[in-house]
Structure 1
Amino acid sequence: MGLYSEKDSYVGFLSAFNYALSSNLLFSTQMYQARFNDNPYYLGDQGSNSSLTEDKTVTNGDEENYKLELKYLLPWGNVREHGLLGAFQPVRDVSFASPVDSGVSSIIFTPFYSSRELDIYNDKKEEATGFSLTFDWDNRDSVRNTTRGSHTSFDLTTGAESLQSEDLWLKWEFQNSQYYSLGPLGDWFDQQVLAFDFYTADTPTWNKCDGAVCARPPEQEQARLGGLYRLRGYTAGRYHGRSAIHYSAEYRVLPDWQPLDDIPLINYYDLPWWQWVAFAEVGRVADDYDLKTLHEDMKWNVGGAVRFQVEGIVVRAEMAKGADEGTFRVMINQPF
């Protein structure tokens, strides 16, 4: 996939997902390369929690991100009952609250390379080469239109500027999502769901320094808020630092009114449902992992979205507004 803008910016993206190498091993890859001209970046202290939106750097940037993923499906829950098919069933039973008995559990190994080269830095690249190791437990009844269950992941990422570098940094991330069905509401809504998400991250090597050189990831790999998934009312990577915490809450409904099948051209596609969403989010970054600090002066945004399932793919259009910034985005997949 490729996109091009009137400012001569471009994005190229190539991906392949879930190629089965065996009955328990899946392979995926994502490759991203982009050129952004006159693009806003929040560099250094400009990305701290106390920074102002107008304190930004507008420059040209080249970005790259390449990932290979090997996912091992643990022989538990749905995979134990149904084999490889159990990982891809559109609707699953999530009656149990243990990964051994319910859902799909996996261990994911992901080597990666990322870089960012900004004109303001005279072509000096910020690079990261490393890998992440993730335990993931997907206990949702449906990936596209979740009404019950949970999704939990714990991720360890380590990397350095190059394979030869000794300044290895380490970052951990934890995320948990919970979903509660409220049932229908008269003739108004066929389905109501409350969805909650919690995310937190830290970089324990942040203050491990040898002179002026510290074991810290480059800014594109730091704990970040803003963008498509967290603090959606803000620019991608608006806030970054050593640690982060973030809370999301969504009220999702499927309206009884479904006009999409009557719209010319659109009705050629399979559109089984559309969804209205109201959401609110709070979060912040910090240079220490201190729960008291992370819950002070938190940034927030509220928003609304319309989401559709189109030929098996969830498309979302969202508007979100924070205290000093707002965004409109169109993207695929649920945010959590």
Structure 2
Amino acid sequence: MTKKYGLALSLLFSLNTFANLSVSNPQDDTSQASWVDNILENLGADGGFDNTKAIDFSVLPGPFYNPEMSLGVGISAIGLYQIDEQDTVSQTSSLVINGFASVNGSVGVVIDNRSFLKEDQWRVYVDAEIADAPDVYYGIGYQQNRQDDNRVNFDHRQLSLRPMLLKRVSESAFIGAGFDLSYAKASDIDDGESLVDSSLLDDSSSAVGVSFQANFDTRDVVRNPYEGRLLQLDLGLYHPSIGSSDNFQTLSFNYSEYLQLGPRDSLLAWQFKSRFTYGDTPWHMLSTVGGGSALRGYTTGRYRDKQMVMSQAEYRWDLPGRHGMVFWLGAGAIAPQLSLFSSDEILPNVGLGYRFEVKSRVNLRLDMGFGDGESGFYFNVDEAF
């Protein structure tokens, strides 16, 4: 076992052990259960939701390790709220703020807001990110991306804002519109001995576009479904006339389903996802796999091209108390155009993770993912899909 794998798994085991103390039998070890529960209560991680507060927050720190940012610490602020106390139909709204810093100087904040209004007739989703962190570029396309010697290291400064307003049009269907503002700048570009052309990283890029979404959503809870399905289609249109550096389009499709299977709230979840781009797509808006949600274990940004398809299936095993384990299998592929996807260029994926419920239907997750010659350890809030 490599040092990297050992570190990730030891952190995973340590948190699992820590969490188990909080649900130990008081008759067996009252003092242990008491002080751990007090810590969690003070942090707001009580597993419930206090609707008497404007926003019921939990704030939790946690370690992470991945190839891009090395060892770091993340802090997650998880807030639940109700916009209208008289509204008994809408789901509980949520605000998640994730901050991170690592030993190699990476810093960033990611915001994820989901608001449900007017008896769930309207939904407002806002995603935002600001970060300055190391990144990698291996060129474009599977053949270049799979060559370890093609690695180009650089510092990636990014800013993004993506609001979306959705209107219910039938019992389970929504349509909506929003905009996407994504700015990226590469600096300290280190080609090393790489033979790939990294000149496209030299100029900063602003992707400004309007976005449209249509979905069919029967999930019981958007943030952590126990049952139901989602079929979602997203279209993005980017053009210099509205401030974009380049003229291009994006088309994404997501099908996810959740089936109760096993003890308590255990379930089988699976997903098929695709993303296609057309036109003069800038490097930071190409389709990718990897990171904390799409084929966990692959380095974010290593595999990128205009088109992407992927699928993953996950068993979410609900353990007694507020604990759970997850096991998944997945696969994906990238290509310059639809006709060039190849079965010889599939990227396999497997992994396992631990879950701890910090708020009602909001999980803290630690995942260890393995890809083709790569791995990653992730500290996040909510499920990968």
Name the TM-score, length of structure 2 as normaliser. Answer: 0.64
1:331 and 2:380 correspond = yes
SS in 2 for 1:44: coil
1:193 and 2:267 correspond = yes
Paired position in structure 1 for 2:180:
112
SS in 1 for 2:369: strand
Paired position in structure 2 for 1:297:
345
Task: Find 1:136's aligned residue among 199, 205, 215.
Answer: 215
Paired position in structure 2 for 1:64:
159
Paired position in structure 2 for 1:211:
none
> More displaced, 226-235 or 293-302?
293-302
Mapped contact 1:154–1:175 kept (Cα < 8 A):
yes
17 and 150 in structure 1: CA distance in 2 versus 1, 3 angstrom threshold: closer
Task: Find 1:152's aligned residue among 206, 210, 231.
Answer: 231
Q: Deviations over 1:133-179 (max 9, x none)?
A: 11122212344553432111011111135625695312211111122
Paired position in structure 2 for 1:83:
none
Mapped contact 1:59–1:118 kept (Cα < 8 A):
yes
Q: Deviations over 1:16-38 (max 9, x none)?
A: 442748973343433321112xx
- Give me the whole-angstrom Cα distance separating, in 1, the residues matched to 2:354 and 2:262: 19
> Please, which runs of 5 or more residues in structure 1 have no aligned partner?
78-102, 185-189, 206-214, 259-272
Mapped contact 2:141–2:305 kept (Cα < 8 A):
no
- Give me the whole-angstrom Cα distance separating, in 2, the residues matched to 1:335 and 1:10: 22
Matched length: 276
- Give me the whole-angstrom Cα distance separating, in 2, the residues matched to 1:323 and 1:166: 34
- Give me the whole-angstrom Cα distance separating, in 1, the residues matched to 2:120 and 2:268: 35
Mapped contact 2:206–2:244 kept (Cα < 8 A):
no
Structure 1 position 118, deviation (Å): 0.8
Paired position in structure 2 for 1:315:
364
- Give me the whole-angstrom Cα distance separating, in 2, the residues matched to 1:282 and 1:16: 29
SS in 2 for 1:296: helix
Mapped contact 1:9–1:35 kept (Cα < 8 A):
yes
- Give me the whole-angstrom Cα distance separating, in 2, the residues matched to 1:139 and 1:49: 40
> Please, which runs of 5 or more residues in structure 2 have no aligned partner?
1-96, 190-198
Percentage identity across paired residues of the two chains = 24
Paired position in structure 2 for 1:264:
none
- Give me the whole-angstrom Cα distance separating, in 2, the residues matched to 1:310 and 1:327: 23
SS in 2 for 1:130: strand
* Structure 1 segment 95-110 matched on structure 2, within 5 A: 103=172, 105-110=173-178
Query: Structure 2 counterpart of 1:230, which letter?
Result: A
Structure 1 position 293, deviation (Å): 2.3
- Give me the whole-angstrom Cα distance separating, in 2, the residues matched to 1:296 and 1:20: 47
* Structure 1 segment 7-18 matched on structure 2, within 5 A: 7-14=104-111, 16-18=113-115
The alignment's C-alpha RMSD in Å is: 2.7
